[in-house]
Copies of this chain bind each other. A is one copy, B any other.
Amino acid sequence: MKPVKVGLLGLGTVGTGVVRIVEGHQEDLSSQVGSPITIERIAVKHLEKYRSVNVDQSKLTEDPWAVIRDPEIDVIVEVMGGIEQTKTYILEALERGKHIVTANKDLMALHGAEILAKAQEKQCDVFYEASVAGGIPIIRTLIEGFSSDRIMKIMGIVNGTTNFILTKMSQEGASYEDVLAEAQELGYAEADPTSDVEGLDAARKMAILGTLGFRTNVELQDVSVKGISQVTKEDIAYAKRLGYEMKLLGIAERQDDEFSISVQPTMVRKGHPIAAVNGVFNAVYVYGEAVGETMFYGAGAGEMPTATSVVADLVAVIKNLKLGVNGLKAIVPYKPKKLKTDEQIMYKNFILLHVDDKAGVLAQITQVFAQYNVSLESVVQQPNEHNPDAEIIIVTHNASKASMDEVLNHFEGLEVIRRIKSVYRVEG
């Protein structure tokens, strides 16, 4: 049978994995789709680079346009990364009726709506399972597995670098700086780790998950983001003592038709399934109105896990191609976007204060919470080991973000409070 011809943009880590799987599993793959799959052309940065996978040199080109404009090619697999330039490649490929598989979360988070609209116009498939949580088929699960349900909450550990750092800090009592340096040495963190540690990478993935979960067009600016660079080993020690693990959580939740999405270091109660997700692993916890609690766990990155998702998408595209139904199952967000206000966003908080060690301070502080209607789950006052202040550790009940902001504002002006040491969201 006539082979399906694939053009590959990028032959880095993921691209190499794609070649390995398409070649290594050729028999399994062609049994499924009914014809061989050939990687016809590959756009690379440098023709002359050493490759850990065997590719016919004549398939390589340094010009992505040569791949996109090749009339023989049915499907473009984009694993080169990049945003603006890559977008022009993808749009042009769609214009030419080619289907797209991409692992590019940045592209999908920033320009997903435009790309999907063009795909719909051209009746092409655009699949992007690998863009979120590498090997975990979470996008399929949200689109198909839970098509019948109303997703109320998605919590994700969707960045392996930060989970590696927080896990190490927790298990070894090490400092953020030391573990970051180690992660950089091991290749788990980049030389410039900003996008990971400041939560931007996670925010992009959460925008994608939110769009699928809530069927509304979530944009990156809808995600409030805080990274882990301010998390100290003391904070993690407090978290553990209170029965929590510190995780960088993406949290998308809705009530009726209003939603909020955020990424922030969060204290997660031990016993919650997501609290036990350690190291570079990813997990996405989904709470559906009907299905209840579910969680999906696996490798969030790496050559082969990510390539697994890319090639699974490729199989899906080719099956659709054989059936002549490409582009007809696209999920277009159809719900109007309604963001929750700060009054509607509710969660528990952990607050650590350094205060003057004198009578009446605790009363003064709890009075502020009462004033803004924030009720407290627990309050502990103790001497500070390192200086003459006292420490007050507070866990609130669910409180609105607006009220908490007022409380913290009020604290800034309160003389007995030496320092608002830490504030974290609490889950589980």
- Could you list which residues of chain A lie within 8 angstroms of chain B, going by C-beta atoms? 17, 20-21, 25, 28-29, 31-32, 129, 135-137, 140-141, 144-150, 215, 273, 276, 281, 288-299, 302, 304-305, 307-312, 314-316, 319, 323, 325, 328-329, 331, 334
With the chains together, A296 CA to B145 CA distance in Å?
A: 12
Q: Which of B32, B148, B297 contacts A308 (CB 8 A)?
A: B148
With the chains together, A129 CA to B149 CA distance in Å?
A: 14
Contact check, B323 vs A304: say whether CB atoms are below 8 A apart. no
Contact check, B304 vs A148: say whether CB atoms are below 8 A apart. no
Which residues of B are found within 8 Å of A315, using beta-carbon distances?
Answer: 144, 147-148
With the chains together, A137 CA to B307 CA distance in Å?
A: 21
With the chains together, A136 CA to B341 CA distance in Å?
A: 33
Contact check, B144 vs A316: say whether CB atoms are below 8 A apart. yes
Beyond A294-B297, A304-B292, whether A145 also contacts B140 by CB under 8 A is: yes
Q: Which of B148, B304, B311, B334 contacts A311 (CB 8 A)?
A: B148
What are 13 A-B residue pairs whose CB atoms fall within 8 Å in the complex? Answer: A20-B290, A31-B334, A141-B141, A144-B144, A146-B312, A147-B312, A273-B297, A276-B276, A288-B308, A290-B308, A295-B298, A323-B323, A323-B329
Which residues of B are found within 8 Å of A28, using beta-carbon distances?
Answer: 150, 215
Beyond A21-B290, A298-B292, A298-B293, whether A312 also contacts B145 by CB under 8 A is: yes
Which residues of B are found within 8 Å of A308, using beta-carbon distances?
Answer: 146, 148-149, 288, 290-291
Which residues of B are found within 8 Å of A319, using beta-carbon distances?
Answer: 329
Task: State how many angstroms separate the Cβ of A77 from the closest Cβ of chain B.
Answer: 12
With the chains together, A298 CA to B314 CA distance in Å?
A: 28
With the chains together, A10 CA to B237 CA distance in Å?
A: 54
Closest B residue to A334 using CB positions: B31
With the chains together, A334 CA to B17 CA distance in Å?
A: 26
Which residues of B are found within 8 Å of A20, using beta-carbon distances?
Answer: 290
Contact check, A294 vs B299: say whether CB atoms are below 8 A apart. yes
